């Protein structure tokens, strides 16, 4: 079965690093990632440079990277202003990705809008993106739980997905923003979404998991069982959790790819090249990262038989 793997490290990972990653380093990393077989690479975000100084170089990153045919280059946009800025840049992203939280409290905390305000601007976001020749997808954050409100009603998730369809978005990402999803919940909720609003194509729905409580890769399996083909990860497991110092953030892309390839899925990703990219990360950010396969090697990375056992 063909699966589509997207990496968000350059955006979701670097955005919380205290040390600014130089533009040239971001560009170089994206250029490496472009040659690994990934489906999408999220390269930056059009947000206020005051709020997220780490990504203040969005225009330069987009202008600097080499576009490899077949790879979709994505930028996050929190609002209409973000879409407009993405549309106005010299080298536009192929796709912009909006964001709204299924939990109203999280939506207000994250993008300073009520649900009503968010919904009111979504059709314009679609129009501005499409007029500029960019695709636009929507991420539904806190779809499996909210760090403030706790339980998030499935109906709320279904209602948002319905709106995204109506408004003409090109794809929907269902996101477990703070790692609260469990595999049973993922399979049940995702199945409902796909039954109620069938996917027009294999990459319409994406699942975006965090590994905050260690359930990330188990949730990927549950998502596949429910019929999803597209998954986000972050190189080297880069990223963190705003609510828990020391806890991990996004699931690790190369750990996910290693598992899926072992299971016989076709990700089209060259795991050796991806690991080589991951091994650049500790040097770039100056600290340890959660990725496992980059330390242990791929599953079939064998070790020398001890001297004493050899004839």
Structure tokens at 111: 């993008």
Of 34 and 258, nearer to a copy of itself (C-beta) is 258
Judged by CB under 8 A, the residue of 75, 175, 238, 293 near a copy of itself is 293
Judged by CB under 8 A, the residue of 241, 269, 277, 284 near a copy of itself is 241
Cα–Cα nearest to 252, from 296, 280, 291:
291
Q: Check if the beta carbon of residue 21 is closer than 8 Å to that of residue 287.
A: no
- For CA atoms 267, 270, 275, 278, the dihedral sign is negative
Judged by CB under 8 A, the residue of 263, 272, 286, 287 near a copy of itself is 263
Structure tokens at 149: 């409100």
Of 67-75, 123-131, 176-184, 199-207: span binding a copy of itself (CB under 8 A): 176-184
Of 126 and 275, nearer to a copy of itself (C-beta) is 275
- Least distance to a copy of itself from the beta carbon of 151, Å? 8
- Least distance to a copy of itself from the beta carbon of 234, Å? 13
Should residue 255 be labelled a site residue for a copy of itself when binding is judged by CB under 8 A?
yes
Should residue 264 be labelled a site residue for a copy of itself when binding is judged by CB under 8 A?
yes
- CA 72 remoteness from chain centre: 13
Of 26 and 229, nearer to a copy of itself (C-beta) is 229
- Contacts of 53-58 with C-beta under 8 Å, sequence gap 24+, read 53/20, 54/14, 54/15, 54/16, 54/17, 54/20, 54/21, 55/11, 55/14, 55/15, 57/23, 57/26, 58/85, 58/86, 58/89
Distance CA 269, CA 39 (A): 9
Distance CA 222, CA 217 (A): 9
Of 87 and 277, nearer to a copy of itself (C-beta) is 277
Tell me, residue by residue from 192 to 221, as one string, x for binding to a copy of itself by CB under 8 A and - for no binding.
-------------------xxxxxxxx-xx
Structure tokens at 4: 């589509």
- Least distance to a copy of itself from the beta carbon of 207, Å? 14
Of 16-24, 26-34, 42-50, 300-308: span binding a copy of itself (CB under 8 A): 300-308
Residue 22 DSSP class: P
- Contacts of 270-277 with C-beta under 8 Å, sequence gap 24+, read 270/36, 270/37, 271/298, 272/298, 273/32, 273/35, 273/36, 273/37, 274/33, 274/36, 274/37, 274/38, 274/235, 276/32, 277/29, 277/32, 277/33, 277/36, 277/235
Q: Check if the beta carbon of residue 77 is closer than 8 Å to that of residue 42.
A: no
Should residue 3 be labelled a site residue for a copy of itself when binding is judged by CB under 8 A?
no
Should residue 295 be labelled a site residue for a copy of itself when binding is judged by CB under 8 A?
yes
Residues in 141-160 at the binding interface with a copy of itself, rule: CB under 8 A: 145, 147-151
* 146 is known as an active-site residue: no
Should residue 191 be labelled a site residue for a copy of itself when binding is judged by CB under 8 A?
no
As beta bridge partners, residue 75 has: 44, 96
Should residue 303 be labelled a site residue for a copy of itself when binding is judged by CB under 8 A?
yes
Residue 57 DSSP class: T
Judged by CB under 8 A, the residue of 156, 247, 276, 280 near a copy of itself is 247
Of 69-77, 127-135, 198-206, 296-304: span binding a copy of itself (CB under 8 A): 296-304
Catalytic annotation, residues: 241
Q: Which parts of this chain interact with a copy of itself (CB under 8 A)?
A: 105, 108-109, 145, 147-151, 179-180, 182-185, 211-218, 220-222, 241, 243-248, 252, 255-256, 258-259, 262-264, 288, 292-293, 295-300, 302-306, 309
């Amino acid at each position: 079965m063909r699966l589509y793997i997207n990496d968000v490290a350059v955006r979701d990972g670097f955005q919380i690093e205290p040390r600014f990653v130089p533009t040239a380093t971001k560009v170089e990393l994206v250029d490496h990632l472009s040659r690994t077989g990934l489906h999408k690479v999220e390269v930056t975000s059009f947000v206020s440079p005051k709020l997220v100084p780490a990504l203040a170089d969005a225009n330069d990153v987009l202008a600097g990277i080499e576009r490899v045919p077949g790879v979709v280059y994505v930028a996050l946009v929190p609002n209409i202003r973000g879409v407009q800025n993405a549309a106005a840049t010299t080298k536009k992203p192929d796709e912009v990705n909006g964001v709204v939280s299924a939990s109203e409290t999280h939506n207000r905390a994250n993008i300073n809008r009520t649900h009503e305000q968010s919904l009111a601007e979504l059709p314009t976001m679609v129009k501005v993106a499409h007029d500029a020749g960019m695709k636009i997808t929507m991420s539904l954050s806190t779809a499996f739980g909210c760090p403030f409100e706790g339980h998030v009603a499935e109906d709320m998730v279904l209602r948002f997905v319905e709106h995204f369809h109506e408004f003409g978005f090109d794809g929907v990402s269902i996101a477990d923003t703070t790692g609260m999803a469990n595999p049973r919940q993922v399979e049940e909720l995702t199945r409902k979404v796909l039954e109620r609003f069938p996917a027009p194509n294999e990459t319409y729905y994406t699942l975006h998991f965090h590994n905050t409580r260690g359930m990330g890769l188990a949730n990927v399996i549950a998502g596949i069982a429910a019929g999803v083909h597209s998954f986000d990860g972050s190189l080297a497991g880069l990223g963190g959790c705003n609510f828990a110092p020391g806890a991990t953030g996004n699931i690790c892309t190369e750990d996910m790819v290693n598992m899926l390839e072992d299971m016989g899925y076709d990700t089209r990703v060259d795991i050796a090249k991806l690991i080589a990219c991951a091994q650049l990360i500790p040097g770039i950010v100056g600290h340890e990262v959660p990725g496992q396969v980059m330390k242990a090697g791929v599953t079939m990375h064998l070790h020398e038989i001890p001297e004493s056992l050899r004839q």
